[in-house]
Structures are given as structure tokens and as C-alpha cells.
Chain A
């Protein structure tokens, strides 16, 4: 099924293929026994592989081409999705999608960066790298949610804000800064979920919220391991070391007090089972929404600002 196979996935997928082939002869009792034996081995292998992933391997998981993206989650978790377009100033950025949707029986404003699946859709989505108008569209939708008292859910998945000439001309930095400022004081609940790649300011531009959740195999940091390697090691070759040094996985960020909870993925990662992943995330979001609904807007904003104010480690 998978179009893209990571090195450490290979032995597992080979065994699974073998099981599938043997199933054709499953009426033979000897073979049925053999199938059970191999299936057990597959599970053991999966457990040992996925519990021992290095940070760089988790980065690869986060970038897996079959991983569910923002629109997949919206489709699988919500009903009555109405996509809203444009920043009302310049254009509609295809790298950020968003709109009204119903999760459980709650209307929410849901949005996130959107990657493409193949070359054509990646060009259309600019590889999930937003321009300033994307962040401004997101802010417009958040203001709309605030006006009508609807919670906001943002899904983060981007290799970074687009570093282009026009992006600079139109104020990429200002657009992100404005979002940080306005999201900090938005008077409705905001839940942030890092679903794939959380690369620096381009991710953070949708990343201020009351609850910050992160999928088990997502990454989130100030810079990608490759760029970090190229700057600090002056070579692209040290991405594994850079990933280790940056401590960018979900357990790392939990320890650093940046995220509130880790959302577990199906065995083998979100790309192995979109339905199950979406079901797990939906259940988590419903619980979080229920808890946040109890808070008054003033309290919500105060707690949100205090939450981010506590982040950092200084001496003296």
C-alpha cells in the first residue's frame, strides 16, 4: 500500500507481504500455524523498531509521503466542512486551508498548513510553505471564530514559511508576528496540534493556543535538522546529530514544557492507518474542547499568556 518506504520499515513490510501471500493457502492447517507465527514476529519487530526510533528517524516519519495531512484530518474527523478562502487583501494562499466544521456536535474553525501528495499538488500547495497572505487568511478566520464564539483548532505541518522574494516584500515577518500577538489574546479557545513537521516560525505562526498537542512522530523546533547542520557544522551531512542536539521530538518537547500532551499514533505511524489516527485525534480534541468550554474568555486569555510567559530556562 505504501508508496514510500523508509529503511527501517522495510523488514516489517517484507514480513507483512509474506503473510499476505501465505494467506492464499490458509486452508492448509500447517500454513495457518505458520501465518500466526509470522504475524507474531511482525508485531514483535514493529514494537522493537518503533520503540527504538532515533530522533532523525522520527523526523522521517513526520515527513512520510503517505502521512495524513490537514485536509485528511478535516475530512475524517469533522462533518459539514465549509472551506473559507482568502485574506481579503491580496489572495488566497493554498498552503494554508481552513474553514468551519463540526466536530462531535461543536462548530469550530479548523485550519492548518496543507502539503501536496504528488508533484502537481505540491506545486499547487507550495509544499506546505505559506506566504504572508496565508497567515493573514488564518487570522481572518480566527477573528471570525472570535466574533461568533467558536473554538479554533489549528493543525501544524510545514517545512517552514516560504523564503521567497515576494514573501519578504509582503511582510512575512510582520504576518507571523501579528498572528502571535493576536492569537495570544483571541477570546475563544484555541487548540494547536502539531501533526507532522513543525518547522520554526512558519509553524508557530498558527501555534499559539490554550492547549498544545503533538502527535507521537511529529517534530517541532526552531530550525530543521538539515539547516541546523548546514549552519553549525557548515555541511548538510550532520542532520542526524543536529536532530539529536535539537531535541525536537514529542517526548523532548513534553519534557521542555512546551507541549501539553502527546497524541499516540497507530503502531507503525499515522500513515499506516489514517482512520485510526483520525479517530484517536478526534477523541482527544473532543475532550480538550469540553474542558476549555468551561473557561471565561478573560481567564482563557490570561492563562494563555501566562503559559507562554513561563517558557525558557535562565540562570541569575
Chain B
């Protein structure tokens, strides 16, 4: 993961690097270990040698946290209304359609209800593979509905984040999703039901600066990039190299912004344990 290797491929490549491979064998980007797909799956998509956490989608994370077959998804087909008819080098409409085809998702977040060791929860999980997990109207509205559900049914809420930030192609409306999700969370706080925020690699920008940092308990996955500004922007601003480990989970834990860093295989037990204390 050195700087020069990344620049050789261009910026977009890094977001693809750790996604789940199609073949039978895959190589760990961190240590070079060749891992069999079955083995990887058994290890919750982490490297058995160096503990690197691969980026996974919502489907995999639901399996990490929830009791088997307990997930009931809501608003599955909600999609963006393209309010600005946004065009850059490509139409936003085409961008979302392509992403839908490629990922078989409708936007960058899924939500629903389920159980963790028989405890009912409302759960929302982000997908980084859908336009960089960016937050537009759909992510905001789904989070708002998840919070409403948790609020009305007095059920704990869990959100798993992975996002590059707010979605540019919906302009100021994307920015307002930060306000919307944060405002909604005040209602859940009023009924004293816990909200656990789980941050995975990467969680940056508008998502970090809203609901992701508002958990009653905030958990990071090992070595996940978590921050407001991206490392590239900070490096340009200060004109210096960034210290090793900067903006990683362990760094945030050290500076007091995470409650804990938890290995993916222990995530379900940890969340359950917190819920038994607070729910």
C-alpha cells in the first residue's frame, strides 16, 4: 500500500483493490499471502496471516452480525431521483444505472430489521462498491427511516459505515443528508435506545461528520481509514508526508474518538454484549 504503487494505477484503483475476488484464490494486499476463497470466507474476509480486513459489501456484513435468515430488508428498490439532472463527464443517471447493473444494489446502503443472538435490532449497512459508498438522498432517507423504525419500535440501531463522503452529484441536497440523519438521531436519543456505529474501511467526509460519529458506542475495524478530509487533501494542504497510521482506527482510538477497535470475527459478540448492557 505504498504511495508510488497507488499513483501508478491512478486513484480509482485503490477503491477496487480489496473487494471480494471472483477466483478461487486471492492474494492479501497487505502481506502477500495467497488465501483460498473458502478460507477467506470462514475468516470473515480477513487475512489469517496478517489480520488485514478486506472490504466487504452489505450482504457479507449482514452475515457477520445477524442471526441466519433473520434479516428483513425495507425499501430495497429505493433509488436516487437525480434532482439536479447532474452531468459531468458522464450523466449521473447513467452512473447510477451502471452501478445498479454492476453491483446489483440500488444505492449505497441497505436497511432492515433482524436479530443478533435473538435480540431484535434495526440495522443499516453501507456498500462502498456503489459509487464509493457516497451519501445522497437515498442513503439519507434510508438512514432516516431506519432511525424512525428504531425510535417507534424502541429497538437498538446499528449502522455499519463505509463511504467516501457525500455524493457530489446531488449537490447541496447531499450535504443536507448530514443534517437530516443527525437531526433524526436526536429522536432516538430521546427514547434512550442505543445506537452502535461501526466504522469500516474507509469512512470519510460527510458520513464521518454526521451519523457515523454520533454513536452511543463507536467501534472501528482494525486499520480502517476514518477521517473528515481525505489523506491526499491533507497532504497537499500541509505539504508534508503524513505520519504512519494517521487516520487509521488505532489512531482514532488513541486520540479518543473510538470506543474500541474490534476484529471482524469478534464484532457480533461485541455488539451483542453491548446490547445486553444497554438495550
Contacts and interface: CB of A to CB of B under 8 A. Distances in A.
Nearest to A259: B172
Contact of B174 (A222, A241, A242, A308): A222
Interface of B: 75, 77-84, 86-89, 106, 136-138, 140-141, 144, 166-168, 170-180, 182-187, 205-206, 208-214, 226-229, 233-234, 237-238, 240, 242-243, 246-247, 255-257
Contacts of A200: 166, 175, 206
A161 B176 CA distance: 16
Nearest to B255: A169
Contacts of B228: 161, 163, 167-168, 172-173, 176, 201
Query: Interface residues of A toward B: which range?
Result: 35 or more
A192 to B, nearest CB: 11
Nearest to A232: B88
Contacts, number: 197
B181 to A, nearest CB: 8
Contacts of A233: 88-89
B137 A313 contact: yes
A258 B172 contact: yes
A164 B175 contact: no
Given A180-B210, A313-B137, A256 B83 contact: yes
A221 interface: yes
B184 A305 contact: yes
Nearest to A304: B183
Contacts of B211: 177
Given A172-B227, A174-B213, A308-B176, 11 more contacts: A201-B205, A207-B179, A208-B182, A222-B175, A232-B168, A238-B88, A245-B88, A248-B172, A305-B183, A315-B81, A316-B78
A162 B14 CA distance: 25
A180 B183 contact: yes
Contact of B247 (A168, A208, A245, A247): A168
A309 B234 contact: no
A253 interface: yes
A121 B30 CA distance: 46
4 tightest CB-CB pairs across the interface, nearest first? A163-B229, A312-B137, A313-B81, A180-B182
